[in-house]
Amino acid sequence: MALLLDIRDPNWMREEELRDLLAPRLPGVPIYCDLTEAELEKVLVLAVVRLRPDVAVRLPALKLVQKLGAGVESIVQAPDLPPHIRVARLKPQQAGREIAEYCLAYVLRDQRYMLDHATDAKKGRWSPMAPRQSHKTSVGVLGLGHIGGQVAKSFAALCFRVLGWSRSPKSIEGATCVSGRDALPAMLAECDYVVSVLPSTPETRDLFDSRLFDEMKAGARLINVGRGDLIVEEDLLAALDGGPLAGAVLDVFRQEPLPADHPFWQHDKITVTPHVSGWHLDNGLPDVAENYRRLVAGEPLLHEVSRQAGY
Ligand code: NDP
């Protein structure tokens, strides 16, 4: 039996690099870096960044698709992935920390008027502005899982008032947590910043529509590091152009790379970043080998996702 790596993203990592990292942990297990070199009938585990169409159907012994990352929406919904095939993801600490840093950075940019000061400085203008105070600022974190939990704790550590939202009830020190769609309007009405760290699932897709934006506090700012399809793009633009929203920081998009003519690029109130908020998976990668071992041994997998729930 064998492991097949299908990354196809040399900017991030080459298959051979991952093979060299995993091979000492899986002695005797063939690790293929290319479909053309693989003995396809032996492949038990397929590790991917993106599941390409028609790959899984060529692997008759496939039991597990191991996502090299967190978002599994395109895998769990893949029409040609038979229902018996399990799906697991990674939960590296670094990526969670990096996303928390990203969210903090953009909130602090606004709290401290950094863009205004930079503009003033270029013009030689001395214009003091009182910073907004964290203990008087409410940050709502939507999604309180592996990453959202770290985001919520990071804001709480800087004395922000943190509100959190998830599907099932949660308890996070320093945060007031609620769950379920019915709890959302009252929470959103209080938030100066809304940070979305939600997965893309049938329940969350298009969640950020005009109804939700109308529930947000006037002057609120949105940060989306979850997935692009959580947001109805026209409704976001309307909420920024005369609606309640004062700004949006977007790291993820329905179409990536964001098309050159997309209105988000030029919009005064939108900051676009190219899906970089969470990057490093290093300390999660050994779990690929561990999941191969567990699968063969019949032990519970690390970070298996529910294909039904979609995350
Ligand atoms: P987790 O699965 O650990 O957490 C997901 C959270 O979302 C959980 O708290 C879950 O609730 C909540 N949730 C799911 N569905 C709903 C719903 N219908 N209503 C309310 N809450 C819901 O995922 P992670 O925290 O690890 O990652 C979240 C997402 O971040 C990923 O799926 C991915 O899309 C994105 N991501 C983005 C990156 C980037 O670079 N921009 C990098 C990595 C991830 P509950 O706790 O009740 O289950």
pLDDT digits over 26-43, tens only? 999 999 999 998 999 999
pLDDT > 90? residue 111: yes
Cα gap 304→64, rounded to integer Å: 10
Residue 12 binned pLDDT confidence (cut-offs 50, 70, 90): confident
pLDDT > 90? residue 282: no
Cα gap 62→87, rounded to integer Å: 11
Q: State which ligand 1 atom lies nearest to the alpha carbon of 69.
A: 43
> Which residues contact residue 176 at a Cβ distance below 8 angstroms, ignoring those fewer than 6 apart?
162, 163, 164
pLDDT > 90? residue 238: yes
Q: What is the CA(214)–ligand 1 centre distance, in A?
A: 23
Measured in residues, the chain has a length of: 311
- Nearest Cα neighbor of 71 from 290, 229, 292 is 229
CA-based torsion, 291, 54, 28, 20: positive or negative: negative
Instruction: Please work out whether the CB of residue 231 comes within 6 Å of at least one atom of ligand 1.
Output: no
> Which residues contact residue 183 at a Cβ distance below 8 angstroms, ignoring those fewer than 6 apart?
165
- In this prediction, residues 270-293 reach a mean pLDDT of 96
Instruction: Please work out whether the CB of residue 164 comes within 6 Å of at least one atom of ligand 1.
Output: no
For ligand 1, atom 29: residue with the closest CA: 199
Q: What is the CA(4)–ligand 1 centre distance, in A?
A: 27
The DSSP 8-state label assigned to residue 214 in this structure reads H
Residue 113 binned pLDDT confidence (cut-offs 50, 70, 90): very high
pLDDT > 90? residue 250: yes
Q: Label the pairing between strands 193-196 and 138-142.
A: parallel
> Which residues contact residue 291 at a Cβ distance below 8 angstroms, ignoring those fewer than 6 apart?
45, 64, 66, 88, 301, 302
pLDDT at 137: 98
pLDDT at 11: 84
**Predicted confidence (pLDDT) per residue in 123-153, tens digit:** 999 999 999 999 999 999 999 999 999 999 9
pLDDT > 90? residue 233: yes
pLDDT at 254: 98
> Which residues contact residue 114 at a Cβ distance below 8 angstroms, ignoring those fewer than 6 apart?
108
pLDDT at 115: 97
pLDDT at 199: 98
- Contact at 8 Å (CB) between 79 and 54? no
Residue 186 binned pLDDT confidence (cut-offs 50, 70, 90): very high
Region label for 28, one of left (φ > 0), alpha (ψ between -120 and 50) or beta (otherwise): left
pTM score over 0.85: yes
pLDDT at 168: 97
Average pLDDT, the chain: 97
